[in-house]
A and B are shown apart, each in its own frame.
Chain A
Amino acid sequence: MPDTDKTIISVQDVTKRFGSTVTAVDNVNLEIKEGEFFALLGPSGCGKTTLLRMIAGFETLTEGAILIDGDDVSSVEPTHRPVNMVFQSYAVFPHMTVEENVGYGLRVVGTPKAEIDSRVKEAIDLVRLSGLEQRKPNKLSGGQQQRVALARALVKKPKVLLLDEPLSALDAKLREAMQLELVRLQENVGITFIIVTHDQKEALSMANRIAVMGDGKILQIASPKTLYEYPSSSFVADFIGQVNLFDVTEQGIAHGELTLTVDELGAVVLPGVDTSRTYHKLALRPEKIGVARDKPSEIGLVAIPAKLVEDSYIGDQSHLYFETAGGKALSASVQNRDRDDHHLNKRGEKMWLYWHPAHFQPLSD
């Protein structure tokens, strides 16, 4: 977690256009705190890489300014910026050994030999590559090359480490291991990490804070939990995990509390929600929905009968797809606590779906 409140990177009204037609980054504002593990999350082509490359200095800004540790870096070459980058392709120099790769950034600035040796050794230990110092990159696995790229950047002791989809080339198992390792590493070295990813699980599990981007714009910046539980728009709600969306047909206030009317459910009371805004949608996460054969008797729950149309078993969970009498599709995900439980769900079966209205997230768009 960030230990200070100091802003290390400040992105101010930054816009990047390629030619006159492509606006890759559209008026972005960001404040990244020292020691944060920050994620830029968004679908392919939304401008994440471009934003990262502007921070590193490989793209010029069309408008706006970027401050690193308080200094405007718009006229500073990448060579002289106090940030380092881990490239998506790793870009580990093929003609140098692991040791030479890691030491490169120190050699080129004339660091004394003894200091290079000790810092290189330290960095190699940090990423657990000891014993492979003399290997050439073509004799390393993808995960090991990744570590070389990490060590090579970390050895420079940058103020900020930029990582562009660092795990996308690894297989699922290794990716999970590397996620944990990156978090551990970041806590050890205390350097600010900015990671670009289009994998929402990766962002949620690693970052302290996440900026969701869409079409060059920042849509929401929040902690993983807030982002998932309280998304600010249907794009964010839909991009981060699965979501059921209900169209709001009527908005009112009853006993001082917000009441939204939804076709399938009638009036829903949402205590404690800002009544001054207009809402168009209600979002509900599939795992918040309970599934039962009989109508739950507990009061205060929203309950609706629905027919099971599809049952997709994915091991720990099953995703159940329902259709209400009115034709509304709803998805629920249930934990498979009992080994044979999921076999009980038969297609076409009528069931009751229920949840607490507090799980509803009203959306304005």
Chain B
Amino acid sequence: MENWRNNKIAFFILSMPPTAWLMIFFTLPLAIMWVYSFADRGPQGQIELAINFDNYIRAVEWIHLGIIWKSIWTAAIATAITFAIGFPLAMGIAFAPPQWKNALLLMVILPFWTNLLIRTYAWIAVLRTRGFLNFGLEWVHDKINAFFALFGLTDLLGQFEALDLLYSHNAVVIGLVYVYLPFLVLPIYATLEKLDKSYLEASLDLGAGHWRTLFSITFPLALPGILSGCLLAFILSMGTFLTPDLLGGTDSEMIGNLIARQFTSSRDWPFGSALSFLLLYFTFIVLWVRATMADRNRGPV
């Protein structure tokens, strides 16, 4: 049978709908935003088309640079913590007995089936001053106190002080770790799953312990998956706005919030567009660095 790719007309007809869809709903809006990013904001927030770089120049003013820097920093910390939790998790699933794997994977993916907004509100219920976390801590605290009271040491730990977690930078990081964990776990799991287990057995056989095998063999061989997972978590954390909006305090604003505000209360679409494109360029640069690194690893040695 003839390959349908070789039939020009069939190829053209079949590729029309997706191309049109991409053009209308993706490329075109993006192009409009790109044009807006060079425009001026009118007195009532209307868009006055022009070609100038004022918006970009404004974006790199100190106050905005601070927010951008804070976003990078927050995303980096969140990614590091996500990795510290996600890598062992991915390993646990990849090396679990086959009959358990699907159930474990499902548990990682399950939160996706619930709306992000609802999940984030759930965190508010957990983290707030009179939330589940503080209730739990208070319970442990009281039990310890009661235990020592048996030995006559009354009120050893003193009065329980609720932790002020919500509406802080820490809450944002916790939220980001929670939301983007699956994005990091899945690519790492995929690489570990494909990894020939006899490499690990060979390492053990040659006298290396489990930790040595982890650092000398598993890590380097899973590096492509680790990089993909971390970059995904990092890029997504960078652009987030819901998590800092709901869980963060007054100083937790990230670039996503700044952008969102331009399109809402500030009514400054041109500046919002410029910021969006800066974020997009930043993402491209990160991905480009990753691609060149991968090329170098594959290249001649």
Contact = CB atoms under 8 A, between A and B. Distances in A.
Contact of B203 (A58, A94, A104): A104
Interface stretch (A83-91, A219-227, A321-329, A333-341): A83-91
Say whether chain B's binding surface is mostly helix, strand, loop, or mixed: helix
A109 B207 CA distance: 7
Interface in A99-131: 104-105, 108-109
A91 B199 contact: yes
Interface string B182-220: 000000000000001011011111111100100011001
B226 to A, nearest CB: 13
B279 interface: no
Contacts of A58: 201, 205
Contact of A85 (B202, B216, B217, B301): B202
Contacts, number: 61
A104 B206 contact: yes
Given A94-B221, A95-B220, A84 B206 contact: yes
Contact of A77 (B199, B204, B217, B221): B204
Contact of B202 (A77, A87, A139): A87
A93 B198 CA distance: 10
A153 B198 CA distance: 14
A87 B198 contact: yes
Interface residues of B, number: 18
Interface residues of A, number: 25
B201 A108 contact: no
B207 A91 contact: no
B206 A105 contact: yes
B301 A105 contact: no
Given A108-B212, A108-B216, A136-B301, A95 B203 contact: no
Interface in B202-261: 202-209, 212, 216-217, 220-221
B199 A156 contact: no
A158 B164 CA distance: 60
B199 A93 contact: yes
Contacts of B199: 91, 93
Contact of B196 (A79, A91, A153): A91
B221 A78 contact: no
Contacts of A91: 196, 198-199, 201-202
Interface of A: 56, 58, 77-80, 84-85, 87-89, 91, 93-95, 97, 104-105, 108-109, 136, 139, 152-153, 156
Interface of B: 196, 198-199, 201-209, 212, 216-217, 220-221, 301
Given A104-B206, A104-B216, A105-B207, 20 more contacts: A56-B205, A78-B201, A79-B208, A84-B206, A85-B202, A87-B198, A91-B196, A91-B199, A91-B201, A93-B203, A93-B221, A104-B203, A105-B206, A108-B207, A108-B209, A109-B207, A139-B301, A152-B202, A153-B205, A156-B206
